[in-house]
A and B are shown apart, each in its own frame.
Chain A
Amino acid sequence: MSVLDRWQRFWFQPIPTHIYALLRIVLGAIGCITLIGLSDVSTFWDPNGFVPVGSGFGVKTFVLAHGLGHAAGLALYVCTLASFVCMTIGFASTISVMMAMFLSVVQLAWNHLPLSGADSALRAFLFCLMWADCGSVWSVDAWIRRTHVSAPANQPIYAIAPLRLIRFQIALIYFNAGLWKLLNPFWRNGSAVHYVLETNVYHRFPVFLPATFDWVIPLLTYGTLFWELAFAFLVLFRPTRRVAIVLGILLHVGMLLTIEIGPFHWIMLASYLAFLDPRTVSRFLLPLKKQEPRPDFADAHMPAARS
């Protein structure tokens, strides 16, 4: 097989679109929950609130000068929330994912202060997802199509490229985070996790790990450091991929239980869905729909307009 063939197979291999639908639903739901947390419009969206005014291409200065600050902030919030709700339920899926991405970028320019790595990760995943067909199944769009138009005979398929881009993005996040950590002396001397767990702005519970358990700290510190650095390489191979993912789940769940940093862990855990086998995901709901035949993708071809 030539390099060109390998490249084509790597990026354009057709897969069932259910994996994209699943990512759309889960990431959309997390986006909605995050926006509910930011629902204090007068604080986070109104330029009169806790919002930097000098940025945003002068739009905020303009709306403030015309007394439209609250209305503009409210409109931006409602539109952003609506786009994430539409994305989650799969209504006008392609457009709603694009709008969610676009309005997330607008939100960043409008007020970056309450945003974190979670929002950067969400934007990066949305960017990949907006190139995919994520509304052909498990969506209002699909339901409308079924009720108004005759159902398509074949299972919808799409190129694997957006899924691979999401996987690449996840690997990049961890590899980069690992490199940053390696350059910090607390991570190299094994004490970093101690300070992360103890600091008053992050700890979830006001209890200190007993000093007799301090031997765990270097283990967790080096474990996190090496796992982050190795993640990108471990996910290349099927057997080690499982190890990397399981360790990642344990790490994020452990951090969820011990530190409070908002939606970052939820987004990263949700992103692991991208490592599921797309064919397995397409069968998730098959037991509920016995009349549908098991899809066979061996001879599937890319829809020409979407490849």
Chain B
Amino acid sequence: MTGRRGLISAFIAFHLVALAVNSLPDPRLRPPVQPSGAPVLDGLAANLQAFEATIARIVAPLRPLTEPYITIGLEQKWDMFSNPLPTDQYVRVDQYVVSSGSQRVRVFEELAVPAQREDQPRFVHKFRDKAVLVVRDEFLAAHSRDAKLADAPRVVRPLAKYFRDRFRRDYLNADEDVVRTEVWLGEAPIPPPGQRLTDPQLEQRLAVLQRYWNGPYERSTSTALPTLGAAQQEADIVWKLEYAERP
């Protein structure tokens, strides 16, 4: 083997090892295996998790070598659809608006996700939906790591700012401004296999969503500002206030 081929071979071997090592997730991030009703697979998963943790410990000394290489753009996490949620997902952004010379606060609610009507076929990918869902996932991950939400404002701020700027530009007059922006995460249950939403349940939910599909919707104002963690229910959608900021 020539020296050149020797170098290329060493690079190939390093590349393969680096990809394999860094594709092993940190065992601390894996939740313990929950019983699923399939004992054989549960046992397999539990053994696999233990084996994976052992391998991760063995290759841990390699990580300082491989991680800098992986950060050149080869970071990979292939967990798509690995954690399907038994709920439909919604994200809503509320804007509190005042006019100069007026004390009255008007509240406008905008559905951020899904951007497209869910009662119609979708043929075009909405990258904005993906961006909002990434923010939601990162927020929930930060929340699970840190109950005091130290990291969450940084994660959600681009979402709140984007929708506020857009709302200002598209809907407000020169004498109006946004004084508070809230981000609400919504969930509605997906019935388990063998069950379906009944027609009245579906109609109720679609009636709620219909209000949002024509753009920001003005809600009748209540006097008290909701606090973080506050909940609202519309049909079978349960909303939770996760973030609020004053621009």
A4 within 8 A of B: yes
Q: A residues 163-194 with Cβ under 8 Å of B?
A: 165, 168-169, 172-174, 176-177, 179-192, 194
B109 CB, min distance to chain A CBs, angstroms? 18
A195 lies within 8 A of B84 (CB): yes
Q: CA–CA, A177 to B88, complex, Å?
A: 23
- What string of 1s and 0s marks CB contacts (under 8 Å) between A88-121 and chain B? 0000000000000110110010001111110010
Q: Kindly state the separation between the CA atoms of A184 and B78 in the bound complex, as whole angstroms.
A: 14
Question: Interface 1/0s, chain B 121-164, versus A by CB < 8 A?
Answer: 11111011111011100000000000000000011011100100
B19 touches A172 (CB 8 A): yes
Contact of A50 among B25, B114, B131 (CB under 8 A): B131
- Interface residues on chain A, number (Cβ under 8 Å): 76
Q: Say yes or no for B75: interface residue by CB 8 A criterion.
A: yes
A199 lies within 8 A of B82 (CB): no
Q: Please name the residue on chain B nearest to A39 by beta carbon.
A: B127
Cα-based distance from A48 to B30 in the complex (angstroms)? 36
The verdict on A198 contacting B125 (CB below 8 Å), with A186-B84, A189-B37 known, is no
Count of chain B residues near A, Cβ 8 A: 80
Which of the 9-residue segments B7-15, B95-103, B176-184 touches chain A?
B7-15
In the complex, are the beta carbons of A4 and B45 less than 8 A apart?
no
- A105 near B19 with CB under 8 A, answer no
A143 CB to nearest chain B CB (Å): 30
Residues of A within 8 A of B88 (CB): 198-201
Q: Which of A165, A172, A195, A214 lies at the interface centre, i.e. has the most chain B CB atoms within 10 A of its CB? A: A195
- The secondary structure that dominates the A interface is helix
Known: A116-B130, A192-B81, A201-B113. A7 touches B9 (CB 8 A): yes
Q: Which residue of A lies closest to B83 (CB)?
A: A184
B61: interface (CB < 8 Å):
no
Q: How far, in angstroms, from A123 to B77 measured CA to CA in the complex? A: 13
Number of A-B contacts (CB under 8 A): 196
Q: Which residue of A lies closest to B71 (CB)?
A: A105
- A176 touches which of B23, B128, B155 (Cβ 8 Å): B23
Query: In chain B, what residue has the closest Cβ to A38?
Result: B127
Q: Does the CB pair A52–B82 fall under 8 Å? A: no
Nearest CB of chain A from residue B218's CB, rounded to whole Å: 24
A124 touching B114 in the complex, CB below 8 Å, given contacts A180-B82, A204-B121: no
Residues B195 and A211 in contact, CB atoms below 8 Å apart = yes
A124-B89 Cα distance, complex, nearest whole Å: 30
Q: Are A50 and B128 in contact (CB under 8 A)?
A: yes
B114 A201 Cβ-Cβ under 8 A: yes
* Nearest opposing residue in chain B for A255, CB measure: B81
- Is A52's CB under 8 angstroms from B38's CB? no
Q: Contact: B127 with A307, CB < 8 Å?
A: no
Q: Are A201 and B162 in contact (CB under 8 A)?
A: no
Minimum CB–CB distance for B202 against chain A, Å: 9
**A127 to B19 Cα, complex, angstroms:** 12
- Kindly list chain A residues whose C-beta atoms are within 8 Å of the C-beta of B154: 52, 54
In the complex, whether A208 has a CB less than 8 A from a CB of chain B is yes
Do residues A8 and B5 form an inter-chain contact, with CB atoms below 8 A? yes
Between A116, A161, A176, the greatest number of chain B beta carbons within 10 A of the residue's beta carbon is seen for A176
Q: Which residues of B contact A195 (CB under 8 A)?
A: 84-86, 190
B49 contacts A by Cβ under 8 Å: yes
B interface list, Cβ under 8 A from A: 1-2, 4-5, 8-9, 12, 15-16, 19-20, 23, 25, 30-31, 33-38, 41-42, 44-45, 48-49, 52, 72-90, 113-114, 118-125, 127-131, 133-135, 154-155, 157-159, 162, 165, 188, 190, 192-197
Please name 20 pairs of A and B residues whose Cβ atoms are closer than 8 Å in the assembled complex, sorted by A. A44-B131, A52-B154, A52-B155, A52-B157, A105-B73, A113-B131, A113-B158, A127-B73, A161-B12, A165-B16, A172-B23, A182-B41, A188-B38, A199-B89, A201-B129, A204-B122, A217-B193, A260-B125, A262-B127, A307-B5
Q: 5 tightest CB-CB pairs across the interface, nearest first?
A: A185-B36, A180-B82, A105-B73, A113-B131, A195-B84
